[in-house]
Amino acid sequence: MDRLDNTVRPYAWGSTTAIPELLGTAPTGEPQAEMWMGAHPGAPSGTDRGTLDQVIAADPEGELGQAAVGAFGPRLPFLLKLLAAGAPLSLQVHPDLAQAAVGHAAEEAAGVPVDAPHRNYKDANHKPELVCALTPFDGLCGFRPPVEAADLLAGLDVDSLKPYVDLLHAHPEEAALREVLTALLSADRDEMAATVTEAAAAAERLGGPYAPYASIARHYPGDPGVVAAMLLNHVRLQPGEALFLGAGVPHAYLDGLAVEIMANSDNVLRCGLTPKHVDVPELLRIVRFESTEPGVLRPEVSPTGEEVYDTPTDEFRLSRYVLAPGSEARDLTAFGPQILLCTAGGVTAGELPLTAGQSVFVPAGEQVSVTGTDGRSGTLFRATVTA
């Protein structure tokens, strides 16, 4: 079992205080957006045996287990993160496995450098993800029914938005959503900036259901993604609640601290709320144009006290334990690889004490049990695979 030394990524949208508060460290004044735990080559966790990707590469079956290597190849199939949003992330979607394979092969054949700003597919993998709130957490997830989106836009009383309102009323669901998103992202940038500015002023004045979008507009003035965001469901998670994001579902995280787990992929197609590349034709090929409920997940509690967040994904399985001081040891030995993360209080994993923000990697089959630390309770997240 390896204690992990993890990298914090300073993306501009990150909170300056949330991760330092959890870790018990002083803020630096710079944004601290994500803490990565895993073997992703962009920021692999450190161990006493080398970086985690090096450790796994030296003995894939020993570290990951034969079943995981057979299912996902000789690499850790998931990436675990602490995510601290102080400003909205880009509005985005992820491809499914087949789309990712085709897109990656096409860009490889075209000779597009993997670090090119216009590259869409950094790898051939899909990127389902699950985000579990540690604090109240705001996000956007999936399309509203077109009629509801039309009513929200109409309530702003902005003349230049009325053609979009008419489109949302005039077509079947898929066609309506597709036409409106296409029109928003293809419109003249200067004309759209004026529309967004007027819409943002109305949203500030109206408040209520418009408040999240007014906040987005303050961070991204004039961005067409502000209006595109109004096509989506707004959801607020309470601590312990989660969202699962599958392929083709447009989403964005707005504010709050969470644990996030995903398949080990960098594939993102952006819709707006970003200065980065937006590939409109490819985006429109990937987006699923259907209204969906946000589908807030609450954990299913097993007889052993494990709180499991059930998803249809094999690459990862996320669960949580709340351990009382001096609680009976829970055996977490598993056939696959695991990362254990303490998010509150203190716990002991094997012989290693963990405080908030500390984590360990447990190789496949290694015996490990966890208990609450004497004198205080602790919360532990467990990331592993289902295959």
Say if residue 62 is exposed, middle or buried (CB neighbours under 10 Å; 0-12, 13-18, 19+): middle
Say if residue 29 is exposed, middle or buried (CB neighbours under 10 Å; 0-12, 13-18, 19+): exposed
Out of 75, 144, 270, 382, which one is annotated catalytic?
A: 270
Question: Are the CB atoms for 45 and 7 separated by under 8 Å?
Answer: yes
Q: Which of 368, 264, 364, 234 is nearest to 38 (CA)?
A: 264
User: For residues 52 and 5, what is the distance between their CA atoms, to the nearest angstrom?
Assistant: 10
9 among known catalytic residues = no
Give CA torsion, residues 187, 189, 191, 192, to 10 deg: 70
DSSP codes, 143-200 = EPPHHHHHHHHHTT--GGGHHHHHHHHHS-HHHHHHHHHHHHHHS-HHHHHHHHHHHH
Q: Which of 326, 339, 303 is nearest to 372 (CA)?
A: 326
User: For residues 270 and 90, what is the distance between their CA atoms, to the nearest angstrom?
Assistant: 7
Give the CA count within 13 Å in the CB-facing half-sphere of 254: 25
Cα–Cα distances in angstroms (integers) from residue 4 to residues 52, 111, 342, 354, in the given order:
8, 36, 12, 11
Contacts of 252 (CB under 8 A, 6+ apart): 88, 89, 90, 91, 92, 139, 140, 229, 232, 273
Q: Is 28 left (phi over 0), alpha (psi -120 to 50) or beta?
A: alpha
């001096």: which residue's tokens? Answer: 326
Question: Are the CB atoms for 8 and 32 separated by under 8 Å?
Answer: yes
Question: Are the CB atoms for 385 and 316 separated by under 8 Å?
Answer: yes
Question: Are the CB atoms for 301 and 307 separated by under 8 Å?
Answer: yes
Q: Which residues are catalytic?
A: 270
